[in-house]
Amino acid sequence: MQAVLSNEFIRMNNDLLDKVISILREVLGQPELMITEAMTASDVEGWDSFAHINLIMGLEDSYKIQFSTDEIGRMGKVADLISLLQGKLQQKAVVNED
């Protein structure tokens, strides 16, 4: 049971990372861009505040979610962004079940 959950977790995580990468590639105009979860925005050339806003808008649009003012400011590492995103999606799933 545990193993199944964690596999699912990893798969979901990868999907989210893929999405973040695909939006960032478009935002930064770098089709070959690769990032890892350990990176921060300052590790990626061109990932400035404007790119960040476009990334957030892209994610909000793709997943029909909204980040709060606090959350937008709290995204340090790519991993933080992914886990935040995951939290949002789970929250949304619960609301939808209700």
Partner 1 sequence: MKISLEIFSTALKAGQVPTAWAALRALVLQPLTPMQWQRLTRLILEHQETWRQFTEDRLLRVAVIGTYTTRMITDLILPHLLAEGSWAEIQEGDYGSFETEPLSPGSALYSFKPHFMLVATGVTDVREWPKPSDSEDEIEALAESVIAGLRTRWNCIKKFSSAQIIQHNFETPATRSLGHQEGRYVHSATRYIERLNKKLWEHEGDQIRVLDVNLAAQYLGAKTWLSPRWYHHSKHGFDPSATGSYSLLFGGLWRALLGRTRKVLVCDLDNTLWGGVIGDDGLAGIELGTVSAKGEAHAAFQRYIITLRQQGTLLAVCSKNELEIAQEPFEKHPECPLKLADFSAWECGWGVKSTGLKKIAQRLNVGLDSLVFIDDNPAECAEVMAALPEVTVIHLDADPADFIRQVDELYLFAPLDLTTEDLGRAQSLLVADELRIAISQSDTLAAYLASLQMQAAIRDVSIQDLPRVEQLFKKTNQFNWNGQTWDKPQLDALMQSSSAFILAVWLKDRHASHGLVSCAVLEVHDRILEIKNWVMSCRVFSRTLEDCILRELLQRAEKHGCIEIQAVFLRTPKNGYVSAFLDRLGFEEANGKYSLSVTLTDTRQCPITLVDQR
Residues found near partner 1 in the complex (CB under 8 A):
26-27, 29, 49-50, 53-54, 57-58, 68-69, 72-73
Cβ proximity to partner 1: between 32 and 98 the closer is 32
HSE (side-chain half, CA atoms, 13 Å) at 5: 2
Our CB check for partner 1 shows the closer of 9 and 50 to be 50
Q: Shortest approach of partner 1 to residue 51 CB, angstroms?
A: 9
Q: 68 or 96: whose CB is closer to partner 1?
A: 68
Cβ distance 17 to 84 under 8 Å?
A: no
Smallest separation, CB 41 to partner 1 (Å) = 13
Q: Which residues contact 85 (CB under 8 A, 6 or more apart)?
A: 16, 20, 59, 63, 65
DSSP string, 23-47: HHHHHHT-TT----TT-BGGGSTT-
What is the nearest approach in angstroms of partner 1 to the Cβ of residue 19?
A: 15
